[in-house]
Structure 1
């Protein structure tokens, strides 16, 4: 059976969840783990087939996993 409708303010105020206090650095500092994907440098190739390829740069926290790719679409 479903619950009756409640305004969101009632749900937020009675949810009972408490969040731990975080410092400024914990909120806005560099995260422990991250994945950054950058798509750049598009190149359109003319000729028999028209296609564009892009350089894709993947950055992660662990340097040995950093890769540059250039797929063709």
Structure 2
């Protein structure tokens, strides 16, 4: 889910990059997009509240719970 004004909205990325089933490389890129986003905190709060899955606010969630996620080191942010 992309928030208006969020980096993910401006990055012109495919929504599946933020899905929990996305490949590790795509998930790492999604996490890198969130890394400097001013809306990450509210996005994560929403993801946990709605029991979201995938990348929300710089974390990988499954049914609203934070999972361990791959490192974003070396992944360029769009």
TM-score normalised per structure 1: 0.21
Higher strand share: 1
Higher helix share: 2
**Which of structures 1 and 2 has the larger relative contact order (alpha carbons within 8 angstroms, sep 6+)?**
2
TM-score normalised per structure 2: 0.20
